[in-house]
Amino acid sequence: MVTTEEIVKAVGEVKKAPKRKFRQTVDLVVNLKNLDMNRPENRIDQEVVLPEGRGKDVRIALFAEGELAHQSKKIVDTVLSKDEIEALAKDKKKAKAYAERHSFFLAQTDLMALIGKSLGPVLGPRGKMPRPVPPNMDIKPLVERLKKTVRIRTKDKLTFHLPVGTEDMDDAAIARNVEAVLNVLENRFGKGAHNIRSVYLKTTMGPSVRLEGV
C-alpha cells in the first residue's frame, strides 16, 4: 500500500498547480474495481473523521425547539423551529437550498417524525437526513466531530471524490487525512486494497496527481 512519504510527495506535486483567487480544496479521487455496484452491499455510505480536519468551515443545521434551540445558536450555523420545518415543506426550492448549503443536519428527537414526513424527500436522496439528538444533550462535541467529518457515498458509481483538506494546510496534515480515508476503504471490503483501482489527488481547479503504490 502507499506510504506516508509517497502521499506527502503527491500533495507537494498537487500544490504546484497555479494559484487561484480563492482557497482551493484538496480532493481525493478514488476509482474502485471488481465490485458490482448494482448490489447494495457493495455501495459505500460511510463517514470518515479526518484527524486534521477539513481545513475550512462546515455548515451544520439543527432542527429544535425550546432550550436546545436556545443553547445551540452559538454552536451550529442554523437553528430551525417546528414552524420553519412546516414552512420549508411548502417551499421545496428553499428546502433544497438549505440542503445544499449545509453538510450535516441534527434534529431534536421528537421532531424526527415530522422532518421525515415533510423534508424526507429533499434530505433523504442527498444523504442528509438529520441524526437525532435528545433535547437535553450537549451537542457541542458532536458538532466539533462533524466539522472534521467527510462522507464516502458511492451509489452506483465506481468513482468517488471527497475533500481531504485545503491547499494552505501542511502537506503532512493532508497526508494523514488521506491515510484515514484509505484505511477505512481497506477495512470496508474483504479484499482490502484489491478493490481500489487507482487514487488521485487534485486541487479544485488543478490537474490530478496519481498516488503511486495504490
**Pair (68, 97) in one structural domain:** yes
> In sequence order, which residues have a C-beta less than 8 Å from that of residue 112 and are 6 or more positions away?
130, 132
* pLDDT value, residue 7: 95
**Pair (156, 205) in one structural domain:** yes
Q: What one-letter code names the amino acid at 41?
A: E
146, 169, 198 — which closes off a domain?
146
| Tens-digit pLDDT profile for residues 132-187 | 999 999 999 999 999 999 999 888 889 999 999 999 999 999 999 999 999 998 88
| Tens-digit pLDDT profile for residues 82-109 | 999 999 999 999 999 999 999 999 999 9
118, 146, 174 — which closes off a domain?
146
| Tens-digit pLDDT profile for residues 41-78 | 888 888 999 999 999 999 999 999 999 999 999 999 99
* 79 SS3 class: strand
* pLDDT value, residue 31: 93
Expressed as residue numbers, the domain containing 76 is: 60-146
95, 120, 146 — which closes off a domain?
146
